[in-house]
């Protein structure tokens, strides 16, 4: 079955760019026309949708984050990526990737990666 | 402030039936199906209900979902201690052109 695994630096300095990768195993991400989604969760708080990227590269982003976020897909590596620029402490959260089967039907999810923004 | 409104907490005793509500608007729940997620302590969220009322394979039939107008509900019958978790509703918002989540409901099994 499809499994997702997030990776990237656990610590990012303020004003820098956060870069995360989600590696998909269990099948080629290009085999089905799904969206691949990024979600985050600050400690003790709820889930926030960041954005999604289609297998052909089309994207949608949370309007509140749109100016700082870029999601992309690399079918040759079976990976999706997230870049978030000009980070602040408010971007400290656990970041999850998930497959989007259609309009918020997210399954499965990765285990998540904690990213801390601090100098 | 979440686009979808959920009660912050709910509770019940073992064996009881508990419902969690999720209120939205005509641009989200009113037009699109709702999905529910269960997040056990320290774990990633897991799909519990999709398409407003469908249970994925492996989810006990104690869990059920429904939608009416601009609101949705998750019902858990025969409450068990392992159901203690955070529950989130989610849907697509046609105006925001984004996925929106509820603020989450922390379920306590007394």
Give the tens place of pLDDT for each residue, A24-72.
999 888 877 789 999 999 999 999 999 999 988 899 999 999 999 999 9
**Nearest chain B CA: its distance from A62 CA (Å):** 6
**Of A3, A59, A64, A105, which to mutate for an interface test with B (greatest number of B Cβ within 10 Å)?**
A105
pLDDT at B4 over 80: yes
Residue B18 and residue B107: Cα distance in Å, rounded? 9
- CA-CA distances (angstroms) from residue A84 to A35, A40, B75? 19, 12, 37
Q: Which residues contact A28 (CB under 8 A, 6 or more apart)?
A: A75, A78
- Chain B residues near residue A107 by CB distance under 8 angstroms: 47, 50, 56
How many other CB atoms are found less than 10 A from the CB of residue A69? Answer: 18
pLDDT at A102 over 90: no
End-to-end Cα, chain A, rounded Å: 39
pLDDT average, residue stretch B39-64: 97
- Chain B residues near residue A109 by CB distance under 8 angstroms: 44-47
How many other CB atoms are found less than 10 A from the CB of residue B85? Answer: 21
pLDDT at A97 over 80: yes
Chain B residue whose CA is closest to A111: B44
Compute the radius of gyration of chain A from its Cα atoms.
13
Mean pLDDT, chain A, integer? 95
Residue B77 and residue B74: Cα distance in Å, rounded? 10
- CB-CB contact of B85 with B40 (8 Å): yes
The pairing of beta strand B18-23 with beta strand A79-84: unpaired
Q: Which of A48, A101, A110 lies at the smallest CB-CB distance from B44?
A: A110
Residue given tokens 């059920």 in the structure block = B64
pLDDT average, residue stretch B62-70: 98
């Amino acid at each position: 079955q499809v499994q997702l695994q997030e990776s990237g630096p656990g610590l990012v300095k303020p004003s820098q760019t956060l870069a995360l990768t989600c590696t998909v195993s269990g099948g080629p991400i290009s085999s089905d026309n799904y969206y691949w989604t990024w979600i985050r969760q600050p400690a003790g708080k709820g889930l926030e949708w960041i954005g999604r990227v289609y297998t052909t590269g089309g994207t949608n982003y949370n309007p509140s984050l749109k100016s700082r976020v870029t999601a992309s897909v690399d079918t040759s590596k079976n990976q999706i990526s997230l870049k978030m620029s000009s980070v602040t402490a408010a971007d400290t959260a656990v970041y999850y990737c998930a497959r989007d089967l259609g309009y918020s039907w997210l399954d499965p999810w990765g285990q998540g990666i904690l990213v801390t923004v601090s100098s | 402030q979440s686009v979808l409104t959920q009660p912050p907490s709910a509770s019940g005793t073992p064996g009881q039936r508990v419902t969690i509500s999720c209120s939205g608007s005509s641009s989200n729940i009113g037009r699109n199906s709702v999905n529910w997620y269960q997040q056990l302590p320290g774990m990633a969220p897991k799909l519990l209900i999709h398409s407003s009322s469908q249970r994925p394979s492996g989810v006990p039939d104690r869990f059920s979902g429904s939608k009416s107008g601009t609101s949705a509900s998750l019902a858990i019958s025969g409450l068990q201690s392992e159901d203690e978790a955070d529950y989130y509703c989610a849907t697509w918002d046609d105006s925001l052109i984004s996925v929106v989540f509820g603020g989450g409901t922390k379920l306590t099994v007394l």
